[in-house]
Structure 1
């Protein structure tokens, strides 16, 4: 299960006080230089200084800030040492990002660059190169697909970073600091706060292409304007899109070209779910993300999310694109009520859930 929805919920709790929106961030946006104590290690906090764009400011002075490397920082007022207003600086380039990453990471990391990605690896350059090929294939396919749907995407503002750890033990050592116990059950993840993707070298990359592409799709979606980090992105949308792009095609000698193919794993999940699927299934999927957080319902939620996304992009493409564009305008930390989530969806589809559900199930029963 993807963990990044948990990150956003944690930040929402930290910002439970009244929040004021700082307005859209543009090229001339004003930000702050903030020096603060990073509480990652409470016994020995690190003093940091960042050139930040202020995305959200709480009534008590806490801020959600985005630094020039694209990382999101949740800074409570008692952490702030100094704060100076000045125009927000431009995002850093790939070369500067590489230097910062090498300074931040343990010794032994090396840099591998592609046209659009910066990969940091532990001496396993051949595997990093294989991952880079997949990332670039996805990048081309992702932008081409949405261009064909008449969706104008932004070029990523920040360098797209991926960490490729040497093995599972190294992955656990690094990932457990970011995602805790979840690290034991995944082979890769995209981290909403750091804006980085992390994976590790496995003996056979073909077995893990779907996972690598899935997480890289999350990274692209949050960096090209299709989705907004820490906004109220329904999890069925985030996961449905990632699964739509992930399907590997092992008949292709280059390893992957699966955008929009039938995802056999998730089609199987959805078909197994159909025999016991309740009448309000679509409503519970859309209204909140609780089905993804329970072990007993997560598999069905993932299968239905892929099926709904597949159905909408094949039969209601214009309406679904309109819905995605509406979601992309969401502001960080704003939340919709369950009713508002459903109303947003119904208004974009121009039909109610009952009507759409009938079309959805009928169509998916015929998919092979």
Structure 2
């Protein structure tokens, strides 16, 4: 997931409702010339300095500083989310020539690879959406249909994907990412990756049979898992499981996505479904158990640092998966109650701007203990259970 740093508009925010056109200054990631951007949308939050949190009609969410606002004016027309057809047109306007659009019930997929691959991806995404919504509804969460059609961009080549990813989020990512800012998933055609092709050269036929064969090999597992992971973020943030730009602990946000990503070589979709053991993450978790110490669990729950630091992220993601898996399997009622509490959090609500890391950790740990009980007892059962998991 491509996260955007939020908060710090300076003063408490107030709820407002507005349909307006904003022109504001925006600087690309990694520097470059500041350019004016025009967005039509609904103001969710505002402060007295003119800073706003804005939902655009195509599902984007913009945190705009008052100093960057060039102009704003109200529109008498009601706020109406863009239609699937309208989002497709917008995507084609933004993307280079050669892209086409494939639309399903919930998704608008712009692609410059084969239509067969777009259809394969859309089938995976629709299956995931259906499974996630059904799962959380059965757990008692009150979900809603996505307010906006869900945008997905699929590039034929990894090079094109990486170039745009660096401009949009400042990094090339892995094989795909979800942006909370644009509300879109961006990826490239996995059948073109070196891992899947095994060094083969020459043109791809792009047939459904070839796609199924290539993505059923073990080397494709982590690649498909990444797509499922990022798509899980998109579904969660658009159906009410979580709220974009809310103050959410990263162990939950990322660990939940890893829980649902479990890959399956041999499947034409490369995805096991919900609740299967994520073998790759389990192997990583167990490999690092000798390094586990009295601070490992508290640091995972109380801070996002281990998950954000590239040097520790791989191990931390495995820990986050393990914790989510354990809580879902052994503390399901408490876990669902905790998720409901997180779902109620509003955008930009959170610690005071001057809160220290220790104060933030204290509050997060207290919230966790309120739902799951004292950490020492839970940690013992957690480590015992996950070390014996088969």
TM-score (norm 2): 0.85
Is 1:359 aligned with 2:349? no
Is the Cα–Cα contact under 8 Å of residues 369 and 375 in structure 2 kept in the other structure? Answer: yes
1:129 to 116, 119, 136: 119
Is the Cα–Cα contact under 8 Å of residues 38 and 48 in structure 1 kept in the other structure? Answer: no
Structure 1 residues 292 and 144, CA, compared in 2 at 3 Å: closer, same or farther?
A: same
What SS does the corresponding residue of 2:238 show, helix, strand or coil?
coil
What SS does the corresponding residue of 1:222 show, helix, strand or coil?
helix
Is 1:158 aligned with 2:148? yes
Q: CA deviation at 1:254?
A: 4.5
What SS does the corresponding residue of 2:178 show, helix, strand or coil?
strand
Moved more, 160-169 or 84-93: 84-93
Moved more, 54-63 or 189-198: 54-63
Is 1:99 aligned with 2:89? yes
1:326 to 335, 341, 364: 341
Is the Cα–Cα contact under 8 Å of residues 286 and 342 in structure 1 kept in the other structure? Answer: yes
- 1:211-257 Cα distance to aligned partner (Å, 9 max, x none): 11011001111111111111111111111111111112234445423
Question: Matches of 2:375 and 2:270 in 1, distance apart?
Answer: 38
Partner of 1:288: 303
Partner of 2:26: 39
Q: CA deviation at 1:330?
A: 1.1
Is 1:218 aligned with 2:233? yes
Q: CA deviation at 1:44?
A: 6.3
Q: Which runs of 5+ in 2 are unaligned?
A: 192-213, 352-359
1:343 to 363, 366, 382: 366
Residues 159-178 of structure 1: pairs in structure 2 closer than 5 A: 159-178=149-168
1:267 to 276, 279, 282: 282
Partner of 2:13: 20
Give the RMSD, CA atoms, in angstroms: 1.9
Structure 1 residues 361 and 47, CA, compared in 2 at 3 Å: closer, same or farther?
A: closer
Question: Matches of 2:296 and 2:155 in 1, distance apart?
Answer: 39
Question: Matches of 2:159 and 2:224 in 1, distance apart?
Answer: 20
What SS does the corresponding residue of 1:46 show, helix, strand or coil?
strand
Structure 1 residues 44 and 258, CA, compared in 2 at 3 Å: closer, same or farther?
A: closer
Question: Matches of 1:332 and 1:348 in 2, distance apart?
Answer: 22
Q: CA deviation at 1:16?
A: 4.4
Structure 1 residues 205 and 170, CA, compared in 2 at 3 Å: closer, same or farther?
A: farther
2:66 to 55, 69, 77: 77
Is the Cα–Cα contact under 8 Å of residues 23 and 37 in structure 2 kept in the other structure? Answer: yes
Question: Matches of 1:150 and 1:358 in 2, distance apart?
Answer: 29
Moved more, 224-233 or 199-208: 199-208
Question: Matches of 1:295 and 1:110 in 2, distance apart?
Answer: 35
Partner of 1:143: 133
Residues 176-187 of structure 1: pairs in structure 2 closer than 5 A: 176-180=166-170, 182-183=171-172, 185-187=173-175
Moved more, 243-252 or 77-86: 77-86
Q: CA deviation at 1:161?
A: 0.8
Q: CA deviation at 1:46?
A: 3.0
Structure 1 residues 152 and 35, CA, compared in 2 at 3 Å: closer, same or farther?
A: closer
Is 1:202 aligned with 2:225? no
Residues 49-64 of structure 1: pairs in structure 2 closer than 5 A: 49-50=39-40, 52-64=41-53
Is the Cα–Cα contact under 8 Å of residues 19 and 59 in structure 1 kept in the other structure? Answer: no
Structure 1 residues 20 and 275, CA, compared in 2 at 3 Å: closer, same or farther?
A: same
Question: Matches of 1:156 and 1:247 in 2, distance apart?
Answer: 24
Partner of 2:202: none
Is the Cα–Cα contact under 8 Å of residues 281 and 321 in structure 2 kept in the other structure? Answer: yes
Partner of 1:278: 293
Is 1:117 aligned with 2:104? no
Q: CA deviation at 1:60?
A: 1.3
Q: CA deviation at 1:86?
A: 5.8
Structure 1 residues 39 and 296, CA, compared in 2 at 3 Å: closer, same or farther?
A: closer
